Amino acid sequence: MSASYRERYRGRRVLITGGLGFIGSSLAHHLVALGADVLLVDSLIPDYGGNVFNIDGIADRVHVNIADIRQQSTMNHLVRQRDVIFNLAGQVSHIDSIRDPYADLEINCRGQLTILEACRYNNPTVKVVFAGTRQVYGRPDSLPVSESHLVRPTDVNGINKAAGEYYHLVYNNVFHVRACSLRLTNVYGPRQLIRHNRQGFIGWFLRQAVEDGTIEIYGDGSQLRDFVYVDDAADAFLRAGEDEACNGEVFNIGGDEPISHRDLTTLLVEVAGAGRVRYIDWPADRKAIDVGDFYADSSKFRRLTGWAPSVTLREGLSRTVSYYRRHFDRYVDGAGRSAETV
């Protein structure tokens, strides 16, 4: 796919659910630069990552609606006359999903059905791109993990995210609401939630480095992961939103190379010029839902769309550390440091 996929967003009416969150707001910045008409919907539920500062610099060029995706009448209105919906609203904390499975069910299942039903009856020609997750795979049988791997989640969040994804595929296949899903691996970068560690370890690692604190790693640090810089993830959404060949499909969006937690934190401390690392034993509750080594095979999406990560891990970490050093007070409130580790 040529660069024209970006040009086609000029004047397009785009809705981003979870639009004040990490990936949603980053996508909004790209779309504003491309000349799109951008509507952001976010519930601003505390601790979920929505942050008004995330649209600093573009606030006067986007429309913002503070609303909950579970409200059917609201979504019926908001989806009307939109050309593309990037559906990023969700509960993404695995730990929170175990602590409160009903809330996770409401947001990641009922909320997704609410959006899709709104599209079915009020805007059936819209294109929907869903933010899926590699967590649906569970513990890998082999590496790298391709889309043909069994869906076998290890926690409540993975189960509900898988259900939300399948709803999108069903509405594509049965009701002809064009939809696809991007199964994201570990996305990182500016605007990520760092107030607590329940939405993934990379944001918490970054905070510790910026604060010249101690990054605590479970086990010996040998576990492998792949990472995607947020601008590369946003580019994947833009490509999927404009490519009809993506409809009804799921795609892995992963990094170029896997890296161990040990090597990741060594690189992060080097880039930041601050922080230190300590290894600790696995807590039983975290070990029970850990998937071990994981890195994705993204070749299906690469072949179809021409997407490829463009930001190296070193460069991405450098940009992110620099961002939080400039805007740290916008992302960490007076509550102070969480007592939890990663």
| Each residue's pLDDT tens digit, 155-201 | 999 999 999 999 999 999 999 999 999 999 999 999 999 988 776 79
What burial class does residue 177 get, using C-beta atoms within 10 Å of its C-beta: 0-12 exposed, 13-18 middle, 19+ buried? buried
Homologous superfamily (CATH) of 4-188+227-253 is NAD(P)-binding Rossmann-like Domain (3.40.50.720)
- State the average pLDDT over residues 7-35: 97
Place of tokens 């760092």: 194
Residues near 319 by Cβ (< 8 Å), separated by ≥ 6? 189, 190, 229, 311
Position 284 scores a pLDDT of: 81
Q: DSSP characters for 24-70?
A: HHHHHHHHHHTT-EEEEEE---TTSS--GGGGTTTGGGSEEEE--TT
Question: Which of these, 40, 93, 328, 45, lies nearest to 194 by C-alpha position?
Answer: 328
How many helices, marked H, and strands, marked E, lie in the chain?
13, 13
Question: What's the rounded Cα separation, in Å, for the pair 329 and 296?
Answer: 34
Q: Can you tell me the distance from the alpha carbon of 286 to that of 254, in angstroms, rounded to the nearest whole number?
A: 23
- pTM score > 0.85 for this model? yes
pLDDT digits (tens, 9 = 90+) for 202-228: 999 999 999 999 999 999 999 999 999
Q: State yes or no: pLDDT of 336 exceeds 60.
A: no
> How do residues 81-124 score in pLDDT, each as one tens digit?
999 999 999 887 777 778 889 999 999 999 999 999 999 999 99
Question: How much is the pLDDT for 338?
Answer: 35
pLDDT tops 90 at residue 340? no
Give Cβ neighbours of residue 171 (< 8 Å, ≥ 6 apart): 116, 119, 120, 128, 177, 179
Rg, Å, the chain Cα set: 19
Number of Cβ within 10 Å of residue 112's Cβ equals 27
Express each pLDDT in 295-306 by its tens digit: 999 999 999 999
In b/e form, how buried is each residue of 212-224, taking b as 16+ CB within 10 angstroms?
eeebbbbeebebb
| Encoded tokens for 307 | 């997407």
pLDDT band at 3 (very low <50, low <70, confident <90, very high): low
3-state secondary structure of 229: strand
How far is it, in rounded angstroms, from Cα 94 to Cα 102? 13
